[in-house]
Amino acid sequence: MTNIHIERTHDLGLEHARTKVEEVAQSLRDEFQVECEWNGNRLAFNRAGVSGGIDVGPDRIDVNVELGMPLALLKGVVEDKINRRLDAVLG
């Protein structure tokens, strides 16, 4: 397994941050065909070869992704897409 960990701080507050993370989740659904489900303030996602979650706090977002083979070979591409999407929705 190859892991990706991304942390971001924000000043959106919990509810607005959850709304923004839902936008990121839609991108994950569209681009990577992952299944997403909220469990409290954690958005868990998975599909064959990919699993992880986005933890949303009042001032911080933590993204953790586990890539199986052969998606591990695309770690840089996946990490870049997540970072760009977070930049777009968090400002």
Full domain range(s) for residue 27: 2-90
Reported as a single tens digit per residue, the pLDDT across 9-31 is: 999 999 999 999 998 888 878 87
Give me the pLDDT at residue 39, please: 96
pTM score over 0.85: yes
Reported as a single tens digit per residue, the pLDDT across 40-73 is: 999 999 999 999 999 999 999 999 999 999 889 9
Give me the pLDDT at residue 68, please: 93
Look at residues 7, 2, 6, 12 and name the one whose alpha carbon lies nearest to residue 58: 12
Cα 91 from Cα 51, distance rounded (Å): 26
The helix (run of H) or strand (run of E) holding residue 6 is strand 2-9
- 62: CATH: 3.30.310.50
Q: What mean pLDDT is predicted for residues 29-43?
A: 90
What's the total number of domains in the chain? Answer: 1
